[in-house]
Structure 1
Amino acid sequence: MKCPQTISAIDTSYLTLVNGFWLIIGWVSATFLYQIVYYRFFHPLKNYPGPFWGTVTRLWYTYQSYNQSELAVYENLFKETKAPVIRISPTTLLVKSAFALPIIYHRNAVKSRFYSNGGFPAEPVISIRDHQTHSYRRRLIGPPYSYSKIIKAEPLIDKIVSAWLKRLNELFVDTQRPVNMASWATYFAFDTISEVGFGQALGFVENGEDVGGLIQSVHDGIEIFGVLAHLYPFVEWVTSGPLGRFFTATPDMKNGMGQLMRWRDKIINARITEIEEGKRRDRVDILQSFFEAKTPEGKPMGREELKAEVLVVLVAGADTTGTSFSSIVTDILSSPDDYQRMVAEIDAGFAAGHLSHPVPTAAEVSKHCPFYVACIKEALRLTPSSPVLFPREVMAHQPPLVIDGKVIPVGTEISCCAYLANRDKEIYGEDAETFRPERWLEDDEKARLFEKYNFTWGYGSRVCLGKDLAYMELMKGPLMFFRNFNFKLCTPSKETPGPPKLVTAGGLFHWQNIWLDLQKRKV
């Protein structure tokens, strides 16, 4: 009888690192191929036009954000497809018409996961997805942003305006040096928000520079945040896993966001020290209101939530207003007739005693300088400081959302774009892309239509909390600049690079290289 053969050991020679590598490559390739086939031919959004790569991967519109080309690309896609709705990611639709604003941004709309906080310990009010939770937080932090409270802060803004004008005279008029208005408009805005918000100007105007690199940190930090927002499923997966601690934003980070968080902590810790030492302030600023805010149960706002809201004040509360200020200046530079009309109106207001010295109130400007106010509205319409995406998610428990006669599938992210909606020719006419302030004064009914479908400040229940403060600043700063100075663009050179450039970073606009020669006006 033959003995059974010994069973040989399993051959594992093929399990090499190289073969393992190719196995992984094959799995990834198969997965991606499946994703392409599904998103192109079987996904509920398959019939909406869009770029091939945009319809199969989020990397496409992430690249557009990183490359600062989103607006131009989206605008060209609408022109090429002639479609009212385009697909810009596997699950995202972009709508061109401003008439869709109240449909998409209704009171109960839920923000999409685009707003996931990307590794921050707590969410600020602007990132909260659920409308009920958002409403709760907004009531908690909203009081200092109310118009009645902003009116009380008007003298503080006047103080910054006067100091800002004084420094422009000292540093640029008296020395005949050119000024970069892109920087100085932002210095004005940062000192204003820090005075009104934190109780003391941070010193941008006095020092005539980006103190501590804070403004550059905002631009660097928001650019990173914008890229992460476009990659939200990946970001959520990474930050919730074992590698999360390496991707969570902390003050120790050496990038722009880390610098911003250090500034935030410095401001908060200084206030905590004041409170512990029993020091009392003669006024309540935004930060103090945050400390004193109480939930319905009588509890204070959590420390991480407070930090999140202060960070938003630093990021969004100043830089966006500085951008708006610069936009007003650049638009007026492009329209000499409008400039002459505006300055004549301002001078007449002072001559008639309708505008008080040294800085008129916002109420006076609103009543007696309608063309100036129209210039502000027109500049903000054409250059909204937050111009790109504000996506909402279509929810199963809500009524069907219908755009262009089609029901949008549940789970879809859908957005308008402020830059495009504010240039809708069906609302603003064939000259919608032209700076023409008088459009706001020609017909009251049309002006109401413009206001109803304006997307500059967001829309509906999510409209910007700082809108009234920003308007107050713009009623004063630019007006006093036009009142006090004659100016013209510098010829581009090594010292005064140009022309002015509008940059999109992280979903926000900011200006570069608005170099001006200033002269004192005789008034």
Structure 2
Amino acid sequence: MGLADVTILCCVLLAATELARRLYKRRRLGTIRGPFLASLSNFYRFFRVIRGDAHLRDIALHRKYGNVVRLGPNVVSIGSPLAIPQIYGITAKHQKSDFYPVNQTYSRGRLIPGLFSTTDDKLHRHMKRPIAGLYSMSNVIGYEPLIDKTTELFISQIEEKFARTGERCSLSDWLQFYAFDVMGDVTFSRRLGFLEQGIDVEGMMEKIWHRFKYFAAVGQLPWLDILWDKSPVWNALLPQKSSPIVAFSASHSIRRLNGDPPQVREKSAEGARDTSTQDFLSGFIATKQKDISVPDWYVTAWTTSNLLAGSDTTAIYLRAVFYYLLKNKDSLNRLVAEILDLDSQGRLSNIISWKESKEMPFLDACIKEAGRLHPPIGLPLERVIAHGGINIEGVHIPEGTVVGINAWVVQRDLNVFGQDADDWRPERWLCEEQKRKEMERAMFVFGAGHRSCLGKNIALTELYKLIPQILRRFKIELVKPNEEWIVENHWVAKQKAIDVYFRERHRV
């Protein structure tokens, strides 16, 4: 037998092995309904994601096939809110899938596992445990002075550039400028310059968006990542490569680790500012100094997670609240009345505090409803079923199967939220406690369990403080009230085309 014959035989054997593997997986989940093409190849998922509307497709699939839907040869989407604790609960043993490491970034040629991207639960616990307390609501409230400084600048810029001039404002962009600069302030005691300059500084927002596009698509076929971004050949050609956000985080982390205090850096960067409030980086470094087992790269990973996870998602949530309010004038007028009533009683500070915002029940209802209808994450949060498998909705899902819940699906569950689940109705949250708790259990905006969003309380603080602050100060109108926004879902369901006019509100 010649070399050519051996080569052909090997190719045939490999093809036969791959075919047998696919047939086995297809048969193993054969009782689970879904699109036929999904049972054959993960390329179905790849093309589903690159279209940018997977969140809408997932809703439609679940309403067609039920709460358990097949999305790939070994991938199942779950649409039941009751399955959230089963899959993501504190005691659940299901690990993250190979989807997540695609999001790992480089710092000087080294891959940096993050709290979000690592599939190693032991590493995750080691990275999270020493800093979890920094993200508690009681601790985040301590960062209010830093958030307030950025809020003051945001209000000042909106007034100067738009309210006084009558120019249209790209609210889509400016809310992200705000979210980015807040995270810079609470993490480094230094804004990143988005609000001061009114632009996407160094194209950072666009670079992160392209990174999300890569992650969302290639994550459906993780082996592609080995051929491209994580390719040994590619990395050999760029041995010191770093992503822009990681490079920024690393430079500030290293400077602080080397003894550059925030007070010195603040004077050189932006003039004298109140630095009495400790930032996250100070907390991270204090943690490292107390625990010698914490390597330097943890600090870079922690600060990078703050910037990456805390800017886009918070901006998306803020956009959703304002968009739905501006599209539903009755809700907007009711919320403004609630805010101005408290203001007229002298119960609101110059910069509204977290505590004061919690006295606004309709604000709370609007924020919950916006997060329900437009959660920032638009794809399922994947987990690999642990030994023994699980039963969901009477369907057995064997171990090794990748399952996931998409917040866009469970948060429009007709059984929980009613036949108007697709409609904006914040009043649904102003109900008896039992019903409200049932709806809250179905909310998946920030994930669930021990791998849920660590920065949830930072995002909530921004939301509950900024929204009433803007509405108290300005009247807002959509430039094109009869047109819809544009939503592209590439991991995050990012909105565009929210242009508004600002006018100053004359307070009594």
Corresponding residue for residue 268 of structure 2? none
Residues 97, 402 of structure 2: 8 Å contact kept: yes
Matching residue of 1:285 = 279
- The alpha-carbon deviation at position 311 of structure 1 amounts to 2.0
Task: State yes or no: 1:172 paired with 2:162.
Answer: yes
* Structure 1 counterpart of 2:25, from 4, 25, 39: 39
- The corresponding residue for 2:424 is 435
Superimposed CA distance per residue, residues 297-349 of structure 1 (whole angstroms, 9 cap, x where no aligned partner): x3152233332222221211111111111100001012111111100000001
Tell me what 2:269 maps to. none
The equivalences for 1:27-426 within 5 A come to: 30=16, 33-40=19-26, 42=27, 44-81=28-65, 83-107=66-90, 108-109=92-93, 110-117=95-102, 120=105, 121-235=111-225, 243-246=231-234, 258-275=243-260, 282-294=276-288, 298-299=291-292, 301-356=294-349, 358-367=350-359, 369-396=360-387, 400-426=389-415
- 1: CA distance between counterparts of 2:383 and 2:192? 36
Structure 2 matches for 1:471-482, cutoff 5 A?
A: 471-482=460-471
Tell me the amino acid that sits aligned with residue 453 of structure 1.
A
Moved more, 124-133 or 155-164: 124-133
Q: 1:239 to 1:329 in 2, by over 3 A?
A: closer
Q: CA deviation at 1:206?
A: 1.3
**Which residue of structure 1 lines up, in the alignment, with residue 488 of structure 2?**
503
CA contact (8 A) 2:104 2:113 kept: no
| 2:457 aligns with one of 455, 468, 472 | 468
State the SS of the aligned residue for 1:458.
coil
Stretches of structure 2 lacking an aligned partner (at least 5 in a row):
106-110, 266-274
Deviation at 1:34, TM superposition (A): 3.7
**Does the 8 Å CA contact 1:252/1:258 hold for their aligned counterparts?**
no
Instruction: Give the whole-Å Cα distance in 2 for the aligned partners of 1:139 and 1:48.
Output: 38
Q: What is the alpha-carbon distance in structure 1 between the residues aligned to residue 398 and residue 62 of structure 2?
A: 21
Whether the aligned pair in 2 keeps the contact of 1:239 and 1:245 (CA below 8 Å) is no
- 1:278–1:419 CA distance, 2 compared to 1 (3 A): closer
Quick one: structure 1 residues 232 and 305, their matched pair in 2 at CA, closer, same or farther if it must change by over 3 Å?
farther
Provide structure 1 residue ranges, at least 5 long, that are not aligned to the other structure.
1-9
Output the CA distance in 2 between the equivalents of 1:22 and 1:469: 58
Cα shift readout 1:270-289 (whole Å, capped 9, x = no counterpart): 43454399969644211222
CA distance in 1, matches of 2:380, 2:9: 38
Contact between 1:291 and 1:301, CA under 8 Å: does it hold in 2?
no
Distance 1:401 1:248, change over 3 A: farther
Residues of 1 paired with 2:219 and 2:483: CA distance?
Answer: 31
Is the CA contact (8 Å cut-off) linking 1:214 and 1:260 kept in structure 2?
Answer: yes
- Evaluate the alpha carbon distance shift between residue 236 and residue 411 of structure 1 in structure 2; reply closer, same or farther with a 3 A threshold: farther
Distance 1:476 1:87, change over 3 A: same
CA distance in 2, matches of 1:193, 1:165: 17
Secondary structure of 2:475's aligned partner: strand
CA distance in 2 between partners of 1:154 and 1:278 (Å): 18
User: What's the secondary structure of 1:200's corresponding residue?
Assistant: coil
Distance 1:223 1:457 in 2: 20
SS at match of 2:215: helix
CA drift of 1:261 comes to 2.8
Per the alignment, residue 272 of structure 2 pairs with none
Residues 119 and 101 of structure 1: is their aligned pair in 2 closer, same or farther, counting only changes over 3 Å? closer
Task: Report SS of the residue matched to 2:358.
Answer: helix
Q: How many Å separate the matches in 1 of 2:506 and 2:356?
A: 22
The alpha carbon displacement at 1:21 in A equals 9.2
The RMSD of aligned alpha carbons is: 2.9
Assess, with a 3 A threshold, how the Cα gap between structure 1 residues 148 and 491 changes in structure 2: closer, same or farther. Answer: closer
Q: Which amino acid aligns with 2:97?
A: S
Counterpart residue identity of residue 100, structure 1:
A
TM-aligned CA distance change 1:420 to 1:498, over 3 Å: same
Tell me the number of residue pairs that the alignment of Structure 1 and Structure 2 aligns: 491
Residue type of the alignment partner of 1:111: K
Query: In the superposition, relative to structure 1, how do residues 247 and 365 fare at CA in structure 2: closer, same or farther (>3 Å)?
Result: same
How far off is 1:99 after superposition?
Answer: 1.4
8 Å Cα contact 2:288/2:295 also seen in 1: no
8 Å CA contact retained: 1:140, 1:295: no
Structure 2: how far apart are the matches of 1:59 and 1:21?
27
Pick the aligned partner of 2:478 from 461, 465, 489.
489
In 2: Cα distance, 1:460 partner to 1:290 partner: 23
Residue by residue over 1:346-373, the C-alpha shift from the partner in whole angstroms, topping out at 9 and shown as x without a partner, is 00010112222x1121111102x11011
1:447 aligned residue: 436
2:271 maps to what in 1? Answer: none
Distance 2:162 2:430 in 1: 35
Instruction: Assess if the C-alpha contact under 8 Å between 2:169 and 2:499 holds in 1.
Output: yes
Cross-structure match for 1:512:
496
Q: Deviations over 1:143-190 (max 9, x none)?
A: 221212211111211121111011001111122110000001111111
The normalised TM-score by structure 1 is 0.86
Native 8 Å contact 1:498 1:515 kept in 2: no
Between 1:460-469 and 1:28-37, the stretch displaced more is 28-37
Q: 1:279 to 1:158 in 2, by over 3 A?
A: closer
Deviation at 1:470, TM superposition (A): 0.8
Q: Which moved more, 1:375-384 or 1:65-74?
A: 65-74
Q: CA deviation at 1:101?
A: 0.7
Q: Residues 362 and 476 of structure 1 are in contact (CA less than 8 Å); yes or no, is this contact kept in structure 2?
A: yes
Q: 1:483 offset after TM fit, Å? A: 1.3
Distance 1:290 1:52, change over 3 A: same
**Is the CA contact (8 Å cut-off) linking 2:99 and 2:220 kept in structure 1?**
yes
Moved more, 125-134 or 305-314: 125-134
Q: Distance in 1 between matches of 2:100 and 2:437?
A: 31
CA contact (8 A) 1:144 1:150 kept: yes
Query: Which amino acid in the other structure matches residue 361 of structure 1?
Result: S
Give distance in 2, aligned partners of 1:249 and 1:134.
30
